[in-house]
Amino acid sequence: MSNAPIKLSRKPQPAEPAARTPKGARTACIRTFGCQMNVHDSDRMRRMILDAGYAEVHSYEEADLVILNTCYVRENAVDRVRGHLGELNRLRREGRVKKVALAGCIGASDESSELQRRYNIDLVLGTHNTYELAEFVGLPTMEETYTPELPGTEGEHSEFVTIMTGCNYQCSYCIVPTVRGRMVCRPMESVLEEVERLVESGTGYVTLLGQTVDAWRHDGKRFCDLLQRVADKAPRVWFTTSHPSNMEDRTLRLIGEKETIVKRLHLPVQSGSDRMLKLMHRGYKSERYRRKIEVFREAVPDGTLSTDIIVGHPGETEEDHERTVELVEDCGFDSAYVFKFSPRKGTEAAELDGTVPEGVVQRRFLEVLRAVEQNAFARNQRKVGSLEEIYIRHGSTEDGKAIGETWSGHAVHVKTDAKPGEYVRARIGSAGPHVLYAGETAL
Ligand code: 5AD
Ligand code: SF4
């Protein structure tokens, strides 16, 4: 039984990379922080700077224009950006970087004017006016105010498609509704047209994006209907992020039934304690969440499940924390993003009493993380020996290891020279808590 990965023929044709602009052209560097929404917005900004004749570079030292596309969801994200802005000012004094633009969620926040003054930022963009970058880089002004309609960098093997912006929830801790606004759903026809265009130009993997994608509604249609239509058109489809209150059982069943949908669900739970869920205004109890997971496990037995968890929200007691650890053990997540609560100015939770001491937060954080990892490791072990069709996400590095994804949504390191967007078949040789190893890279 050979472990060598076999290249499969059902690969989409990846488009040629964008042509480089000649030597001496203006240069721009885009740095992205935060979630997939920002990665996607950066794609759009990349299209604009390339259209305006800039060459893209990947270090600040080489850049005339630097665009920081930022995240505001936790304080450490803001601290990181301040660090980068300080570094950029130093480079500016040395005459290297000429212009700095601040985009994304910090740009849309109250903190942006203070940062603009302090760091001499040339352009501040929020999340709803990304198109203003066009004018700044010398392109004709764009009329669109509805950012999902703006083109991204087409022809890539894997593309994001925004189906909604903003969020109608008011979770106690979350700044997103303030900086991204209320939910706006994009019409189904517009989404389908974009998907068709992308697939025609060689995209083999479409990820539907939004803060609460399963809350999508338009013209009497719901998310499940949209997903079905997209999955009929694209060779590989995923979606993120979902909200437990909106997730329909028929969507969970569709994931299991439709062969083009990646069998991976990201369903943030935040806490296992009903008391905390109420305080957070999540709109569901842990029992309802567990039932959703049961439906998912039954409908998609081979699927992977991930979640977001916040530890140390104000008022969190030891008992609340124990409920979270219990829920992690019962649901058996394949991975989880565990966050320490970060107070955001303007949110309800920032004003609440019952701050949890830092040492306690740290211990709870590690306990939740350990529970997640133990489960994930045990689940990954069960994949060892199975033969998988693997979609290559990132091509091989110097040591020949590419990073791919199985149909059940596991991340795999695989030794192959296959390019992003191609498929290989390989046997899983070993597993860690976060990743599987296939083929010759097996430990
Ligand atoms: N503190 C910590 N984590 C947060 N998240 C959102 N806001 C905060 C905050 N103030 C987490 C939630 C959400 C994820 C994107 O970020 O878990 O699901
Ligand atoms: Fe934030 Fe809650 Fe909306 Fe998610 S659902 S973006 S956590 S307010």
Point out which residues pair with 12 in neighbouring strands: none
- Counting ligand 2 atoms within 8 A of each CB, the residue from 171, 182, 289 with the most, and so the one to mutate, is 171
Residue 442 or residue 98, greater confidence: 98
Q: What are the structure tokens assigned to 66, written together?
A: 């630097």
Least distant ligand from the CA of 171: 2
**Residue with tokens 């689940």, as numbered in its chain:** 379
Where do runs of H (alpha helix) occur along 332-388?
358-381
Least confidently predicted of 122-131, 230-239, 297-306, 363-372: 122-131
Mean pLDDT of 29-41: 91
**Residue with tokens 């976060």, as numbered in its chain:** 434
Q: Please report the pLDDT score of residue 142 as a whole number.
A: 60
For residue 370, pLDDT over 60 is answered with yes
pLDDT tens for 104-127 read 999 999 899 999 999 999 999 988
Domains, the chain, ordered by start: 27-146 (3.40.50.360), 158-378 (3.80.30.20), 387-442 (2.40.50.140)
Q: Please report the pLDDT score of residue 332 as a whole number.
A: 92
pLDDT tens for 314-358 read 999 999 999 999 999 999 999 999 999 999 999 999 999 999 999
Nearest residue (by CA) to ligand 2, atom 2, is 171
What is the number of residues in the chain? 443
Nearest residue (by CA) to ligand 1, atom 14, is 308
pLDDT tens for 410-421 read 999 998 888 899
Ligand 1 centroid to residue 336 C-alpha, Å: 12
pLDDT bucket at 5, cuts 50 / 70 / 90: low
Name all residues whose Cβ lies below 6 A of ligand 2: 167, 169, 171, 174, 176-177, 211-212, 243
Q: What are the structure tokens assigned to 291, written together?
A: 């039932």
Q: What are the structure tokens assigned to 74, written together?
A: 């936790």
CB-CB contact of 142 with 150 (8 Å): yes
Element (H, E) at 427: strand 423-431
Nearest residue (by CA) to ligand 2, atom 4, is 211
For residue 395, pLDDT over 70 is answered with yes
pLDDT bucket at 377, cuts 50 / 70 / 90: very high
Mean pLDDT of 277-300: 98
**Residue with tokens 């001499």, as numbered in its chain:** 120
Average pLDDT, the chain: 90
Q: What are the structure tokens assigned to 348, written together?
A: 């309800």
Nearest to 242 by CA among 198, 275, 289, 285: 289
Which phi and psi angles does 143 have, rounded to 5°? -90, -25
CB-CB contact of 43 with 160 (8 Å): yes
pLDDT bucket at 139, cuts 50 / 70 / 90: confident
Find out whether the beta carbon of 312 lies less than 6 Å from any atom of ligand 1. Answer: no
Instruction: For residue 282, give the ligand 2 atom closest to its CA.
Output: 2
Instruction: For residue 35, give the ligand 1 atom closest to its CA.
Output: 15
Where do runs of H (alpha helix) occur along 150-221?
176-180, 188-200
Measured between alpha carbons, how far is 436 from 366 in angstroms, rounded to an integer?
A: 23
For residue 365, pLDDT over 80 is answered with yes
- Counting ligand 2 atoms within 8 A of each CB, the residue from 173, 180, 212 with the most, and so the one to mutate, is 212
Mean pLDDT of 72-100: 94
Half-sphere exposure of 393 (CA within 13 A, CB side): 14
Mean pLDDT of 305-320: 98
Where do runs of H (alpha helix) occur along 175-273?
176-180, 188-200, 223-233, 249-257
Q: Please report the pLDDT score of residue 398 as a whole number.
A: 67
